[in-house]
Each structure stands twice: as C-alpha cells, then as structure tokens.
Chains A and B, each alone.
Chain A
Amino acid sequence: MIIDIPSTTAGGVGKRLVELREKHGAVALGRVLTLVIVVDEADAEDAIESANKASHEHPCRIIAIIRGTSRGSARLDAQIRVGGDAGASEVVVLRTFGPLTGHQESIVVPLLLPDNPVVVWWPAEAPEAPSEDPIGSLAQRRITDVAACKRPIAALHDRVEGYRPGDTDLTWTRLTLWRALLAAALDQPPYESVSAARVVGGPDNASADLLAGWLAKCLDVPVTRTKASGVDGLLSVRLDRESGPITIERPDDENAVLTVPGRAERRVSLPRRTAAECLAEELRRLDPDEIYGEVIREGLKRQHETGKTTRTKAKVRR
C-alpha cells in the first residue's frame, strides 16, 4: 500500500503512521532500528529496494530522504509505503524542496523510532565527515559507499580524514568473504608466518586498498598494492610464506581459486554481493567496527609506508 501525502510536515506523517498502525495492527511491530537513507532522486528507488530486501533480516523503519531543488518555497512531499510495497519494513519517503533542503534533520528527528538504534546510509555521495553531518550525528552507525562515488579514491581520502567510531563503508563490507577465506587459509597447518603480501585490483578499487591496509596492519609485513588497469574489481591476493605462497584469484567476478603449496587448487564461489546483502551484513552489528577503524586510521598509512604501489595491465583469464 502506498499513501501519498503532498505538502505536509513531519507531524502530519507521524500522525498518519500511527493511524495506519491502529488500523492495520501489525504495521509497526517488532522494528529493531530506524534506517535513514540520504539519497538523490536518481539513486533513490534502487536504494529503497536494497533496504527493503535487507529489512527481511532486520525489520526496520526506513526513512528515505530525497533532496530536491533548493530554489522556491519550502515544501515537504511525503509518501508512506507499507505491506507488500515495503518488504518487512515501513518506508517513509520524504522529498524536500526550497530552504527545507538545508534543514532535513528537522523532519527526521520526529520520525525516529523511540529508543531504537539509528543507522544512516548514503548510497552514493556522502558528506566529508559523516559524523558531523546534521543527520549523521543522529545515528550511531553511518554507512557510506566510496565505490558509488564519482571519485572513489578521493572519497576514500575523505573517509580517512573524517573517520569517527561508528563509520563503515560498503567497500569494506564487500571484503568480508575475501578476508574470511584468507583467515581460514592461515588457520590450517603449516602455521608459518607471512613474509610479504600483494593485492591486485582495479586502479580505483577502494576495496583493494582497504584489503592491503588490513593485511599490512594485521601481518605487519610489506604489502604491495598493484593497480591493474582495465579492471575495476578485486583480482587476487597473495600471501608469501616460506613453504610457498597462498593465493586467492578471482578472474571472473564469480569464482575464486585458492592455491596453497602442496595441495590441489581449490575452487569456491565468490560472487560480488549485492548492495542488499552488504547492507544486511552492515545492520547485523550496530556497535562501531573497530577493525575497520584501525584499517582506515593506521592500516592504509602503514601499507603506504612499508609497502609499495605498482601498476600493471590486467590479464583477464576467462
């Protein structure tokens, strides 16, 4: 069910939500968090759809706040979606116009669920310091996605400069399965230490930068970050050890090959995960991700200082 409420206020929207709850009962039961999406019109529907999917794991109230033109008079157009149109969530879409575009937090505050955690997600461009943003400061978790920004590497730089506990970025989320595979490989004998590492990925691939930073931080060895032109994803990781290197290669965005000395090559499905899957993983933890914080603050720097950055042309094996 979709209900349009043109030219309204946060109070008007809130009243309508309570009415809906009374009339249809279940609508607002069992919500565990409020997810605020700050987005442009162009990316709005995709983002809401991803959030709806993630809401199957984390029932939530989704507030999508879309900034319209800042000219003209102040106006708020709202839309409430519940039931089949909203996954396991209730979605409130708020379009702001005129001077109101500069005071969006004033309509978010009254619509937050009492007591429950607040998460803000910027699916594309994000403020330089998310925690200092008026809406970002309402939240305990702030999710950005530098890969969706126009200039990912510059955006990553902003994330480093503006980092506060509670920030995370979906480029980090996308690494989880890679990191799990690497950690699992080191769980196995022989328990030798790693002497050097190398991460190969597209030149603008911030995930590859973060992975290199993570390895540099955890292993305390030089990590080479190789920028392969002609690709955008993460291509391979290699950990050098005395008995030979452990490598994970993903030539085709879907399947990865794990090679360990003295063992048969082992294959595993490692597809790129959708925004909805990544968001669902993000919402599983509402406390600050300390490891991400250390990678952002120390790991990247350490990788630059102790390792090197090289360039190559990608060999794409299909």
Chain B
Amino acid sequence: MSVQNPLRDKRDKRLPRIAGPCGVVIFGVTGDLARKKLMPAVYDLANRGLLPPGFSLVGFARRDWATQDFGKIVHDAVKEHARTPFRESTWRQLAQGFRFVPGDFSDDEAFDRLAETVHDLDRQQGTGGNFAFYLSIPPSFFDVVCKQLARSGLATPENEDQWRRVIIEKPFGHDLASARELNATVESIFPPDSIFRIDHYLGKETVQNIMALRFANQLFEPIWNAHYVDHVQITMAEDIGIGGRAGYYDGIGAARDVIQNHLLQLLALVAMEEPVSFDAADLRAEKEKVLSAVRLPLDLDAYTSRGQYAAGWAGGVPVKAFLEEDGIPPASTTETYAAVRLDIDTRRWAGVPFYLRTGKRLGRRVTEVAIVFKRAPHLPFESTATEELGENALVIRVQPDEGVTIRFGSKVPGTAMEVRDVTMDFGYGYAFTEESPEAYERLILDVLLGDPPLFPRHEEVELSWKILDPIEEHWTASGSKPEQYLPGGWGPEAADAMLARDGRGWRRP
C-alpha cells in the first residue's frame, strides 16, 4: 500500500490489524485438521474481533450436504474445540458467511459452482474477490485441485486490488525430488508470494519466543556459541501410536514426518545468526544460511538411529506393536523413532553437535530444545562436593507446559559444601496458555493479511530435504530393520549408544 493510512500509527500498539474483506475456501472440510483446528481457529478469530466484516467460509467436499449441514458440522467443531467461549451473536454473524459446495475434485461442474459461489459471496457478503484456498487434502490431490482452480478462473485475481492465495500443509513431498515436483505443480498456478506453507510449529508462541529470548536479551547471546555450549538436544516425543494414520504413515516414517519440518525449523531458529530485521526475507535468509551449513555425520550407522515401537504397556494401557497396527504390513521398515546427530559448519557452532530425536509411543508428549552447556573449566571445590553437579542447561519447553527452565548448581543447605542441580523456571503461567492464541489462529490471520514471515519458503523445504535424503537413502540401502523399542520409554538402545559414543546422554524430558 503506497498511501499512508491516517488512522494507523506505529505507536498505537493496541490497535489490531484486521484483514480487508475476504473469505477462505477449505478443501477437505471433513478431515480432522479442519474440524479440530481450522474451524475453531476461524471462530476464535471472529470472537476476538480479528476477522473482517463479511468474512466468508466455503467448504468443498464430496458429501451430499446443503449449507445448513455444513453449518452444523462447523457448529459442532467450534463447540467442542474452540478456545474462547461460545457466543451466540458471534456465531450467528459468522454463520451468515458459510457456504458449502459438494463435489469431486475431478468434477468440472463442481468447480464452476464453486466459482459461482465465490462471486455470489462478493455480491452478498462483500468479500471483494479476495480468497484463500486451504488445501487440507493429501498432496496427491494438489495437482488436480490447482488445475481446477486455474481452469475455473479462481486462481488468478480479476484486478490488481484483489488477491488469491493458496495454503498448503506438510508434508511438502517425501524427498527432494517429490518436493520439487509438488512445488512445480503449485507454482505453475500460483506465484511464490501467494503460496503459504503451514508448519504450525512456527505459529506457536513458544517457538516465536525463541527469537525473543535470543535477540531481546543481553543475558543469553554471549554464551550462545561453541565456547560455552557443549551440545544441543531437540526432542519431539509423542505418547500415542500412529492411530488411524497407517495409510499416510507407512513408507513415510518419523524422520520425514517430523525431523524434516518441525525439528529442522527449530534447529534453524536456535542456531541462526541474528537477522537484520524480522521481515520475511531477512528471517528466511538467516534460516537458509544455517540450514545450508548443516553437515551430516560421516558414519551414518553410528550417528543415526531408528526404531519401531514393540507391543507392551504405555501409560498403564496395553498397546499393540507398530507392526501389528491395522494397515501396516508385517515386514514394514518404516521407523516410528528417529534420531540423528547433525553438525553446523559455522564459527559459532563448530564442534557443537545437535542431536535431534522424535518418536511415537515414548514416555510422554513433549517437545523441547535443550541447550546443554560445558562444565566449568575449574571447580574450586573438593571433588566430593560436586559429584552430583550436572551440566548447566537451558531448556525451552515448546509444549506442553510452555516455558523456559534453567538448570544450574546450588549449595545444598547444611554444614558441608555440597553442590547439586536445581532448576529455575519460567512458565508462561500455568493458566496463561489457555488464553494465548492457538498457532492456527495466528497463521490464518497472517495469510489473510498477506504477512509471510512465519511461513517456510520452498528454498527452506528443499534445504531440509537435502539434509534428510542421504539419511533415508542410507537406511534403505543398509537393508537393516529398525530396532524394536518398548513403548512408554525413551526409544531404542542404539539411540542411547549414539550419544554414549560421544560421552553424552539424552536428557529425560
């Protein structure tokens, strides 16, 4: 926008930005993501007064529904999953902008009806021709849906005041080649600036807080380097199994599902240099730089580990082994646990290994980044005094129990000098989280505003596949099977051996 809006003032910090007139079309409205996250997020935004007047939501699915049936689905989803209290007036207002278009992705007529619906909304709701298309569908359908959008004229704005955007979710391919192919498909229809890739981790307050912690404080940055940091552990553990996702999960596995996107994004935010500004371009430049400096270990057998959960007990419940899950072939070599050591070839991180791990059916659901510091170079105590002193650590708890923990030694009360580890804790407040916005609220709002910093670009996706592909290839070529591990624990023994080889051990998160 070239003209300065007289009602906006940088100092007016309480004034929220509301998007211009617009609507969202969701493909795959019947899916879990749409019901549990997207629709509640849309409602919560409306309830907070952040959606533009006349906001419209169009559902598209192969269901024999009328708009009322769709409204009922959204209503139930909102009642069950929304974060903010249900307000009848907000709901009634929002529901006026609901439309449903039944049809198949291959059905030209259905997309013509969708185009008509969109034009009707422009007239009835004043959406002004601004629409975002949320592809909450398997990537194999991206091609056909994008082509249909282009064919029905929905993919391109009708004049320069309008915008059309497309939102896609991970997985962005399953290796470098497929990621490029997928990208080519979407970019053949939509320009790069109109493609919003959602990695919902980047919408989390705790993840954005990594930047605040690092760059707003004087306290941490001086020690944020190889002089003081011994190593970094990034963990994303789930206590559940694969559930009903066998079809998606088999052949993908933990590394592609989680390490390629969430964990490498966390690594980038923790390890990157200070961006010159938080503009999308500057932020991406730093993330891309650090991702391109990631080096794989030479001995991939020794420094990667994969596993599959066995049958057993987890959290007091008997659970099936991965290979016994419905839809998983008994000979599957898909891993449900993956751990890798990565090094970063920069002056800041030379010699500091980053250990990444993720798995299903682990001890508990937790995502955290632990910066583990070197031991003090000299301890002027009796050796018996510091036997129980561990390494100092700074732990960023991404979820749940969002916050930051600092671990350091403290004197045990008593006459003898004895030092033991204690923790200092910053919680986002035990009830604070209930009021802090969900990742999807932030991300949907940013799409509507056309604000891109929190969305990875294709270059980042490619770089992360370049890191992961050799590991996957090595695993396939080795012909070995993933190690079985007991559910409810912290993964296979090989993962422990991997750190033990470096004289280190995994934290118990």
Contact = CB atoms under 8 A, between A and B. Distances in A.
Interface residues of B, number: 53
Interface stretch (A120-128, A145-153, A252-260): A252-260
Interface residues of A, number: 53
A58 B12 CA distance: 21
B93 A189 contact: no
Interface string B1-17: 11101111101111111
Q: Is the interface of A mostly helix, strand, loop or mixed?
A: mixed
B33 to A, nearest CB: 25
B93 A191 contact: no
A6 B435 CA distance: 35
A219 interface: yes
B175 to A, nearest CB: 42
A43 interface: no
A256 B19 CA distance: 17
Given A183-B8, A263-B21, A285-B14, A269 B128 contact: no
A149 to B, nearest CB: 22
B82 to A, nearest CB: 14
Q: Is the interface of B mostly helix, strand, loop or mixed?
A: loop
Contacts of B17: 180, 184
Contacts of A186: 5-7
A109 interface: no
A179 B49 contact: no
Contacts of B46: 269
B427 A184 contact: no
Nearest to B122: A264
Nearest to A239: B7
B344 interface: no
B222 interface: no
B5 A30 contact: no
Interface string A236-260: 0000000000000000001111101
Contacts of A154: none
A187 B5 contact: yes
B7 A57 contact: no
Contacts of B90: 269, 271
Contacts of A213: none
B93 A183 contact: no
Scoring A26, A59, A260, A266 by chain B CB atoms within 10 A of each residue's CB, the highest score goes to A266
B87 interface: yes
Contacts of A177: 49
B89 A255 contact: yes
Interface in B394-442: 403, 425-432, 434-436
Contacts of B297: none
Given A180-B18, A264-B124, A194 B6 contact: yes
B47 to A, nearest CB: 8
Nearest to A277: B48
B431 A284 contact: no
B203 interface: no
A183 B5 contact: yes
B504 interface: no
Given A184-B52, A189-B161, A267-B54, 4 more contacts: A56-B432, A184-B19, A266-B53, A268-B51
24 contacts: A26-B430, A30-B426, A30-B432, A56-B431, A56-B434, A57-B432, A58-B432, A59-B431, A59-B432, A183-B18, A188-B128, A191-B1, A215-B7, A220-B6, A255-B93, A258-B53, A263-B128, A266-B53, A266-B54, A267-B93, A268-B93, A285-B14, A289-B13, A291-B12
The 4 closest A-B pairs by CB, nearest first: A266-B54, A268-B53, A88-B431, A266-B53
Interface of A: 26, 29-30, 32, 55-59, 87-88, 173, 176-177, 179-184, 186-189, 191, 193-194, 215, 218-220, 254-258, 260, 263-271, 280-281, 284-285, 289-291
